[in-house]
Amino acid sequence: MEEVSNCSGNDISSSCSKKQFTGEPTLMKQPEAVLDDVYYRSLELVDIFVCTIKDKKKTSEIVKNICKHLPLEKLSHLKRVRSNTNQVDELQIIVAENYEEDFLTNIWSDLCENNAVYCHVSKPYMVKVPALPPLTRQQYNNAVQYWPCSFHEDKRITRLLNRSFFNAEEVKCIHKNMEEAISVAKSSVYKLHIGAVIVDPKSDTIIAKSCDLRQGKHPLQHAVMVAIDQVATVQGGGMWQLSDKCSNNLQKETCCKEKGDKTGPYLCTGYDLYVTAEPCIMCAMALVHSRISRVFYGSPHPEGALGSKYKLHVQPGINHHYEVFCGVLQDHCHKLMSDIT
């Protein structure tokens, strides 16, 4: 990592822990994780058939028989039996995961004819139950209002959802890096103020930073695209020769040691991106190709690809997924966009 840290400018501090953070307390808000929609979905109910167990002494026999003949497939997250909340001391058992009339006339009547144990349960009737397994504590709490469910809490998801994922030191560091992105955004000679910084979090070193150059000669030179190319330059590649002052002057010669070294960094593997505005679909996919590890952005954009219009980072079928956090110094980042005169 020694060579890499040489590549960043002299003005970049190497450790966030030494730097005293002087901002107002509201700035220390945790970044908000942008998770797959499944973690935010509201309760969906489905109609099923249940029976009341009339003779509780027969429960074990009834459950055994029903589970054997009427296994649950789609609704395996539901507990098979519950004690009825309305009728104290009464047990209900799921007998069919669909609410279709022919269940009673075909399957159910056949079972009753052939097995005496079914005389200890009521005629099946409809209840509403949660259609999908709960993935979060909140979804679980809502689901069990209707029917008991099994739930294996993912502690990581819980911490991401209730914004307790990062410790105070990490939050400071995230804000410091976003401040760097804000400052590079402001350095632009163009009206559009967007800044991007790519950081190696292991050494807390800035690898690349750029403002947005799309209003210059090249429409594809969004801040993120330029920063990705700068990482390539640091690794002995790169394509765009930039003279603009708002991209940092990378000391290519000190970085060329990396060239030909196959054990060195590969694309943006292990790196974090800080960008003042939510990336567009082109930039979001460029980050997939570049194997970025995490993306932190400030203000959302209605056509953005990491939470607003799309959630490309959790798109099924794509071979690399990265973590996304939004709302980092959001007010400051938003102001950059509205400052356009």
Partner 1 sequence: MDNEHITWMERTFDLAEEALKSGEVPAGNEVNETKNATRHAEIVAIDKVLKFSEENKLDSKAVFRQCVLYVTVEPCIMCAGALRQVEIPLVIYGCANDRFGGCGSILPVHSAELPSLGPSLQCISNVMAERAIQLLKDFYKGENLNAPENKRKVKNT
Active-site annotation, residues: 253
Task: State the minimum distance, in angstroms, from the CB of residue 282 to partner 1.
Answer: 3
Which of 55, 12, 27 lies closest to 183, judged by CA? Answer: 12
DSSP for 137-196, written as a single string? HHHHHHHTTTS-B-----HHHHHHHTT-SS-HHHHHHHHHHHHHHHHHHHT-SSS---EE
Can residue 110 be called a binding residue for partner 1 (CB under 8 A)? no
Judge contact between 270 and 293, C-beta under 8 A.
Answer: yes
Sign of the torsion angle spanned by Cα atoms 281, 286, 291, 293: negative
Give the interface size with partner 1 as a residue count (CB under 8 A): 41
Query: Judged by CB, which is closer to partner 1: 174, or 284?
Result: 284
- For residue 210, the minimal CB distance to partner 1 (Å) is 14
Using CB under 8 A as the binding rule, whether residue 133 contacts partner 1 is answered as: no
Q: In this chain, which of 48, 121, 127, 280 binds partner 1, going by CB under 8 A?
A: 280
For residue 265, give the nearest of 203, 211, 184 by alpha carbon. Answer: 203
Exactly one of 310, 334, 335, 337 binds partner 1 (CB under 8 A); that residue is: 310
298 binds partner 1 (CB under 8 A): no
CA angle 84, 78, 153 (to 5 degrees): 115
Q: Comparing C-alpha atoms, which of 32, 326, 39, 298 is closest to residue 162?
A: 32
Please list the alpha-helical segments (H only) found in the chain.
Answer: 2-7, 59-69, 102, 109-114, 137-143, 155-161, 168-186, 223-234, 252-255, 281-289, 330-338
Asked if 216 touches partner 1 (CB under 8 A), the answer is: no
Within 10 Å of residue 232's Cβ, how many Cβ atoms? Answer: 16
Between 124 and 279, whose beta carbon lies closer to partner 1?
279
Range in contact with partner 1 (rule: CB under 8 A) among 5-13, 42-50, 88-96, 301-309: 301-309
Q: Which of 339, 325, 335, 337 is nearest to 163 (CA)?
A: 325
The least distance separating partner 1 from the CB of residue 287, rounded to whole angstroms, comes to 9
The pattern of x and - marking residues 169 through 208 that bind partner 1 according to CB under 8 A reads ----------------------------------------
- Could you say whether residue 247 binds partner 1 (CB under 8 A)? no
Q: Which of 74, 218, 252, 321 binds partner 1 (CB under 8 A)?
A: 218
Closest CB to partner 1 among residues 176, 334: 334
Q: Which lies closer to partner 1 via its Cβ, residue 155 or residue 217? A: 217
DSSP label of 259: T
- Binding of partner 1 at residue 275 (CB under 8 A)? no
Verify binding: residue 232, partner 1, rule CB under 8 A.
yes
Among 124, 195, 238, 307, binds partner 1 (CB under 8 A): 238
Q: Which residues bind partner 1 (CB under 8 A)?
A: 214, 217-220, 225, 228-229, 231-232, 235-239, 262-264, 266-267, 269, 280-286, 288-291, 301, 303, 309-310, 312, 315, 317-319
